[in-house]
Amino acid sequence: MSPTTAAECLFCRIVAGEVPAAVVAETDRSVAFRDVSPQAPTHVLVVPRRHVANAADLAEASAEELSDVVALAGQVAVREGLAGAYRMVFNTGAGAGQTVFHAHLHVLGGRPLSWPPG
Ligand code: 5GP
Ligand code: ZN
């Protein structure tokens, strides 16, 4: 179960236009906007318009909406000049660093990305 309701969710408020964000791309199902605290020269978050807590819940709710998030992330990566060298990350759970409990895909690139991550 989501620990955050849609009414109090930061990313729902960004999707609704109630909280400003630097939107870089959108579809009828997803919105992509710049992370306010970038961890790489390009750091974009792609979120489904639907409020669900994490990627697995999104997959259960709608495979098409999960696919739309990933496809839009790929388009953003190309547009940002990252094709061939970027990372997509879904942090899932507080212990893995998730702080906003509305599913979001981090798209990171523009610098060397080590593996495994620290
Ligand atoms: P998480 O840690 O949950 O995987 O990622 C949440 C991300 O949301 C963080 O990278 C954080 O910098 C970003 N973030 C938090 N608040 C805001 C905000 O108000 N606007 C934007 N654009 N990003 C935010
Ligand atoms: Zn939400």
Tell me, what CATH number does 97's domain have?
Answer: 3.30.428.10
Closest among 74, 71, 31, 26 to 51, alpha carbons compared: 31
Tell me, yes or no, whether 20 lies in a domain: yes
Domain hosting 57: range is: 10-109
Closest among 65, 34, 73 to 49, alpha carbons compared: 65
Residues 14-38: pLDDT tens digits? 999 999 999 999 999 999 999 999 9
pTM of the predicted protein model: 0.96
Confidence of residue 54 (pLDDT cuts 50, 70, 90): very high
Q: How many domains is the chain partitioned into structurally?
A: 1
Q: Is 102 a catalytic residue?
A: no
| Contacting residues for 118 by C-beta, under 8 A, at least 6 apart | none
The total of other beta-carbon atoms located within 10 Å of residue 12's CB is: 19
Counting ligand 1 atoms within 8 A of each CB, the residue from 4, 12, 33, 35 with the most, and so the one to mutate, is: 35
Residues 69-117: pLDDT tens digits? 999 999 999 999 998 899 999 999 999 999 999 999 999 999 999 999 8
Counting ligand 1 atoms within 8 A of each CB, the residue from 2, 36, 69 with the most, and so the one to mutate, is: 36
Nearest ligand by distance to the CA of 57:
2
Tell me, yes or no, whether 60 lies in a domain: yes
Please tell me the distance between residue 57's alpha carbon and the centre of ligand 1 in angstroms. 19
Alpha-carbon distance 52 to 58, whole Å?
A: 6
Tell me, yes or no, whether 4 lies in a domain: no
Alpha-carbon distance 90 to 47, whole Å?
A: 10
